[in-house]
């Protein structure tokens, strides 16, 4: 059996794993043991309380560590680590580990590439190759936990802000979130998880009904639909009004404030009129605005803004009573922004193939 033909156990729920164990004819309690080992990041030979025969069968038929660290780059500025994770079918995705006073955050990818086509983003340049499985998303965290083991640290916060549109891979993302909080597993509070979307409205309503306390982040990036359509194809499908209604519903259902991401792009969305219009639309909403100075992607031709521009925009929103912060840029020296490292690796692979 080749590696890719083996059954991936990592994304299985306790119930699915129980069914798998039963199928093999093993006693029921093995499922709990295996689940616990997997979520500790153990490989099959390390599952020492399983009989050798069980481990042998697992080695032949099952895959546990389906995600591996391919490369890592550590920022000399702030200790941020950019991982390139290898998947067992040869694809790769990025993840970023950020260190804060309150703990360690991992930014994970949810798809290989992305099909949303935002013109400022590197992740979408090659389209979407495939969805990640729940097990692979979990695998990104398990890799980071292993990386942190020598420091006696673990991932305490997760943000779904890497490559991919999480709501375009809805079922696997929901499965992953539920796995994250399993008591016998990683046991992370979903209050420590943020999910970022470009605004797929029907899925935002569905998410509100899941009864999961995750923080919803919405990539707004514009004060009106006309400007939004210039950089985000999804804006041709859903209007800002529809997105804001879905956000209000999310706030009502979950009691949690919504975060709006707003990347400042030169000559596009960062003038006084834009701040005014944005503030007007968000007035009275339980929300927070996260300003991001555009991270210039060479292929995209859009220009970033100066520190003074960011400050000016921040002050204009504050004056209109909108809660706002500037997103801290971390790992600036290691291509911390979405999709950049993976893209570089793909380009390099192509160059080598062409030689």
Is 118 among the residues known to form the active site?
no
Single residue of 80, 196, 269, 314 touching ligand SAH by CB under 6 A: 196
Regarding 231 and contact with ligand SAH (CB under 6 A), the answer is no
Regarding 81 and contact with ligand SAH (CB under 6 A), the answer is no
Regarding 297 and contact with ligand SAH (CB under 6 A), the answer is yes
Give the x/- contact pattern for ligand SAH in 262-281, rule: CB under 6 A: -x------------------
Single residue of 50, 98, 161, 270 touching ligand SAH by CB under 6 A: 161
At a CB cut-off of 8 Å and minimum separation 6, what does 283 contact? 320, 321, 322
**How do strand 193-197 and strand 215-219 relate by DSSP bridges?**
parallel
Is 94 among the residues known to form the active site?
yes
Single residue of 84, 294, 316, 324 touching ligand SAH by CB under 6 A: 294
At a CB cut-off of 8 Å and minimum separation 6, what does 223 contact? 269, 274, 275, 277, 278, 281
- Least distance (Å) from ligand SAH to the CB of residue 165? 4
Cα angle for residues 202, 216, 310 (degrees, 5° grid): 120
DSSP calls for 119-138: TT-STTTT-EEEEPPHHHHH
With beta carbons less than 8 A apart as the criterion, state whether 285 and 249 touch. no
Tell me whether residue 63 or residue 161 sits nearer to ligand SAH (CB atom): 161
Tell me whether residue 75 or residue 194 sits nearer to ligand SAH (CB atom): 194
Regarding 338 and contact with ligand SAH (CB under 6 A), the answer is yes
Regarding 292 and contact with ligand SAH (CB under 6 A), the answer is yes
Helices assigned H by DSSP within the chain:
14-23, 29-40, 52-61, 134-148, 170-180, 201-208, 225-231, 240-254, 272-282, 307-319, 340-354
| Catalytic residue set | 94, 338
- Catalog residues that contact ligand SAH under the rule CB under 6 A: 116, 118, 120-121, 161, 165, 196-198, 219, 261, 263, 292, 294-295, 297, 337-338
């Amino acid at each position: 059996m080749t590696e890719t033909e083996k059954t991936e156990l990592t994304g299985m729920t306790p119930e699915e794993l129980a069914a798998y164990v039963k199928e093999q004819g093993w006693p029921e309690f093995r499922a709990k043991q295996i689940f616990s080992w997997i979520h500790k990041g153990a490989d099959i030979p390390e599952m020492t309380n399983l009989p050798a025969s069980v481990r042998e069968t697992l080695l032949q038929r099952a895959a546990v560590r389906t995600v591996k660290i391919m490369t890592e780059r550590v920022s000399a500025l702030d200790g941020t680590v950019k991982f390139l994770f290898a998947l067992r079918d040869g694809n790769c995705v990025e993840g970023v580990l950020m260190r804060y006073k309150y703990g360690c955050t991992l930014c994970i990818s949810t798809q290989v590439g992305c099909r949303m086509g935002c013109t400022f983003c590197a992740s979408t340049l090659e389209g979407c190759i495939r969805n990640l499985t729940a097990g692979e998303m979990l695998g990104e965290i398990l890799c980071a936990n292993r990386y942190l083991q020598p420091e006696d640290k673990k991932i305490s916060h997760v943000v779904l802000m890497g490559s991919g549109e999480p709501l375009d891979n809805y079922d696997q993302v929901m499965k992953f979130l539920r796995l994250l909080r399993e008591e016998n597993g990683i046991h992370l509070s979903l209050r420590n998880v943020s999910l970022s979307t470009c605004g797929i409205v029907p899925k935002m309503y569905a998410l509100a009904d899941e009864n999961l306390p995750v923080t919803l982040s919405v990539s707004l990036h514009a004060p009106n639909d006309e400007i939004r359509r210039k950089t985000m194809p999804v804006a041709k499908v859903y209007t800002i009004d529809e997105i804001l209604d879905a956000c209000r519903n999310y706030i009502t259902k979950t009691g949690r404030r919504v975060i709006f991401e707003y990347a400042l792009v030169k000559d596009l969305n960062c003038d006084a009129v834009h701040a005014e219009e944005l503030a007007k639309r968000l007035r009275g909403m339980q929300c927070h605005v996260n300003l991001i100075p555009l991270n210039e992607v060479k292929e995209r031709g859009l220009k970033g803004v100066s520190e003074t521009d960011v400050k000016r925009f921040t002050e204009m929103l504050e004056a209109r009573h909108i809660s706002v912060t500037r997103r801290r840029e971390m790992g600036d020296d290691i291509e911390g922004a979405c999709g950049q490292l993976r893209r570089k690796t793909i380009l390099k692979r192509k160059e080598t193939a062409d030689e």
